[in-house]
Amino acid sequence: MIAAVSAGGAKAKQPLMAHLQPLCAALSAHLELSSSTSLEVAEQAATALGNLSAHQRFRKEMVGGGALDALLRLVGKVPRGEGGSILLPNAIAALHNCSLHPEGIGVVATEETAAALLPHLAAAQLEAGSSVVLARRAAAVLAKCAARHSAVVTMLLEAGSVVPALVKALTAEGEAVDAAKEAPRIVEITPGSEGAPEEEEEEEDTDEKASEAEEMVGSAVRILTACAKRPEGAAAVCDGGGLPALVKLLSRDDSALRGNAALCIAECANDPRSLAVLAVQPVVPPLLSIAHNGSGGPQKNAAIALGRLAKNPRCLAAIRDNHGIEILARAMKGKLGGL
């Protein structure tokens, strides 16, 4: 019942607010798999915590009250996949939400967490099936671990199949998002039937799938950016065909995703072979657009990428032809003017 009620928004969670501390403590106790706790009970406890962790007050209680530690213990010891159980995906979702709390990120994004999550990502290979949700959620937390710890990047690169699988996910799920946005929605209505409810349900389902794919794209880009700082990581992105996919992301509506893609391109551009591949891609115009119209991190990342791409004569010519020197000069002048 708690899992079902907590699935709603803030208004649905409001009646549970008065029982915040004992509720989180009780749910945490049910995460401890033992002879007295069945898998079904643990699944529902993880689901409830995942739902509740979307609320700031519950998230704060979970970080400070012991639920976060219980979630970490669970993720570290549950057998891989657990027969398609929802236990791990929902527990990892709760971990991800807890990492949004200032005091939670340092506890969640550790080498130990990455070591526990890596097998789930490696085994899933992001193919069709129940393991896809698990892989997507594991990738979201792994991205935070990789950004904070170089040892996690080493784990990812030494795992062998993980980085190529992420490049594949970046290209495949990026294409899925594009297809979902471009596909026309056709709803057949039989005489005398009501078509609106079915149309609304179908639209929500399509949006949810697109959102999940977009989340995986964002996580993959962040992990690959951390890996591309090393020559072997940049080579893996290039060999897997990830560079054209990154260039396409520069034109997305999501500013943060554009900025992360620009930084990943900048890291890859340090690799001579990757730079040669990028030189034949339509990479300069969108980067100049971000540098001209963007702000903050995305603008800075685009400028870094353009500076590294300029080492290639073809890219340098494209930058000049598109008034890139003037655009970058204005961007830098604005930065200096604020000092």
Answer with the residue of higher pLDDT: 37 or 313.
Answer: 313
**Is residue 135 in some structural domain?**
no
Please report the pLDDT score of residue 305 as a whole number. 95
Using N-to-C axis directions, what is the helix angle for 196-228 and 242-249, rounded to 10°? 120
**Is residue 268 in some structural domain?**
yes
Give 240-279 as a DSSP string.
Answer: TTHHHHHHHHTTSS-HHHHHHHHHHHHHHTTSHHHHHHHH
- Please give the residue range of the domain that contains residue 254: 241-339
Lowest mean pLDDT of 97-101, 189-193, 277-281, 318-322, name the range: 189-193
How much is the mean pLDDT over the chain? 82
Q: pLDDT tier at 185 (50, 70, 90 boundaries)?
A: very low
Per residue in 264-291, pLDDT (tens digit) is: 999 999 999 999 999 999 999 999 999 8
**Is residue 51 in some structural domain?**
no
Alpha-carbon span 147 to 136, nearest angstrom: 17
Please report the pLDDT score of residue 338 as a whole number. 39
Please report the pLDDT score of residue 12 as a whole number. 83
Q: Whole-prediction pTM value?
A: 0.82
- How many domains does one find in the chain? 1
Q: Taking 70 as the threshold, does the pLDDT of residue 200 lie above it?
A: no
Please report the pLDDT score of residue 72 as a whole number. 93
**Is residue 1 in some structural domain?**
no
Answer with the residue of higher pLDDT: 216 or 59.
Answer: 59
Please report the pLDDT score of residue 8 as a whole number. 83
Per residue in 87-137, pLDDT (tens digit) is: 889 999 999 999 999 999 999 999 999 999 998 886 545 554 556 788 889
**Is residue 49 in some structural domain?**
no
- Nearest Cα residue to 106 out of 145, 61, 154: 145
**Is residue 308 in some structural domain?**
yes
CATH assignment at residue 326:
1.25.10.10
**Phi, psi (degrees; rounded to nearest 5) at 34:** -155, -175
Are 118 and 156 in contact by the 8 Å Cβ rule? The answer is yes
Per residue in 207-247, pLDDT (tens digit) is: 444 455 578 899 999 999 999 999 999 999 999 999 999 99
Please report the pLDDT score of residue 192 as a whole number. 41
**Is residue 306 in some structural domain?**
yes
**Is residue 295 in some structural domain?**
yes
Q: How many CA atoms lie within 13 A of 119 on its CB side?
A: 12
Q: Taking 80 as the threshold, does the pLDDT of residue 64 lie above it?
A: yes
